[in-house]
Structure 1
Amino acid sequence: MRKVMITFVAMMLTLQVSRAQKLWTEADRKYTVDNLKRTRDEITREVENLTDTQWHFHESPDRWSIAEVVEHLALWEIIWAREISIGTRSKPQPELNKTSRPDSYYANWIMEDTPHKSPDFSRPTGFIKGKDNLTFFTKLRNQHIAFTDTTRADMRSCFEFTGTDARRNMHQVYIFQWGHVDRHMRQIRKIKAHPNYPKAQ
């Protein structure tokens, strides 16, 4: 009986230490979930009532339509999911926070005015029509929200696998994820402000 009690106490102490050392706080979780929901809802309001012509309008032949922008966002939801899945299933490395950049670096970078070049694997195909792109994006984003709202992973101790000296932790990946939508919201509004953008029927 005494051994059982000692084992139980040891387990409880270990659990308490583990909780005390967790870097990703409940405030971090709320901040992340709130922004994932906010950007989902904002893009929904921005595009859900577009006509088919508006969805597929191009400012010029080399520019994406709103449909392609939203498809691009959905493709990145898949990419973020894979990155977060790998990061959270790997051994935590909280010591890497000593060399990682601050959160503000990633928030500022994703929202800078300088154009970013999309890698080939995230470029839209254009095969998905109109509002189906929003359905594609929303389904994936809702999966992210459900996971983030319940995960026990310490997102500030889980890091991506890259060869850089300043690797991102998963909380910083989330900043990229919701910030990426904010960035492309500017693009969508620019498309809608074009003088040749079709008027609603």
Structure 2
Amino acid sequence: MKYALLVFLFGCSLSLAAQQKRLYTTAEQERILKLLDSTHDELVKVVSSLKEAQFFFHVDSITWSANDIVEHLGLIDEGYVRELWFTLAQPSFPESYLDSVKGGDEAALAYATQPEKGKARGTNLPRNRYCNKQTCVRVFSEANDLAKEFFTANASKDLRRYFIFRMSNGVRTYKDAYQLGLLLVAHRMRHITQLKKIMADARFPK
């Protein structure tokens, strides 16, 4: 009887250990920090060459200006960082949730080049909150610092076991915290491409 009990307890301890196996790797931690830096630096480099008039110029009534894009990115980044911190307060979830986010890394990064046009709404819309380029870029850079601070402060946590829930066309979607970070940088990449196209437009002032 005692032997059976010991076997049972040992099996339980092995099961618990397996459940607690760390999934978030050092390589992933290094990758997200590098991606945050590289996308931030690329955007800043692109807009650094723009004069104030160019920064606020609209090629037409429906196309965003460089100012709109940078303002929007700062807003999105701040929102994502809040979402990341909130998810750390979530309770534990069953192991089955890990299956729900498989393939999520690739899906998040693929957003950078998806042809479907997104639609900003609500508090994510640019409202010309900043009166000059320097302030707009500074706010974006501060949002980048906040994102890096989250991943640096929580490097010891298994961010693969914290989940973000959203609704898309009436369907609940799942991402882990690392994947939300990848989506953040993919969103930046998407808008950097948009900005370069605007600057290459024949109507853009030289």
| TM-score normalised per structure 1 | 0.84
Q: How far does residue 20 in structure 1 lie from its aligned partner after superposition?
A: 6.5
Counterpart of 1:95, as a letter, is S
In structure 2, C-alpha distance between the alignment counterparts of 1:154 and 1:48, rounded to whole Å: 37
Q: Is the contact made by 2:163 and 2:175 (CA closer than 8 Å) also made in structure 1? A: yes
In structure 2, C-alpha distance between the alignment counterparts of 1:114 and 1:128, rounded to whole Å: 29
Structure 1 range deviating more: 31-40 or 158-167: 158-167
The aligned counterpart of 2:91 is 91
Unaligned 5+ residue runs, structure 2? Answer: 1-12
In structure 2, C-alpha distance between the alignment counterparts of 1:166 and 1:62, rounded to whole Å: 30
In structure 2, C-alpha distance between the alignment counterparts of 1:101 and 1:109, rounded to whole Å: 16
Which of 111, 121, 124 in structure 2 is aligned with 1:122? 124
Count residues with an aligned counterpart.
Answer: 185
Q: How far does residue 101 in structure 1 lie from its aligned partner after superposition?
A: 4.2
Write the deviation string for residues 18-76 of structure 1: whole angstroms up to 9, x where unpaired: 99711111111011111001101111111123111110110101211000100000000
Counterpart of 1:108, as a letter, is A
Counterpart of 2:35, as a letter, is N
| 1:149 matches 2:152 | yes
| 1:39 matches 2:39 | yes
Q: How far does residue 118 in structure 1 lie from its aligned partner after superposition?
A: 1.2
SS at match of 1:68: helix
In structure 2, C-alpha distance between the alignment counterparts of 1:59 and 1:49, rounded to whole Å: 18
CA RMSD for the aligned pairs?
2.2
| TM-score normalised per structure 2 | 0.82
Q: Is the contact made by 1:92 and 1:159 (CA closer than 8 Å) also made in structure 2? A: no
In structure 2, C-alpha distance between the alignment counterparts of 1:19 and 1:145, rounded to whole Å: 28
Structure 1: 4+ residue segments shifted above 6 A: none
Q: How far does residue 131 in structure 1 lie from its aligned partner after superposition?
A: 2.6
Alignment of 1:162-181 (within 5 A): 162=166, 164-181=171-188
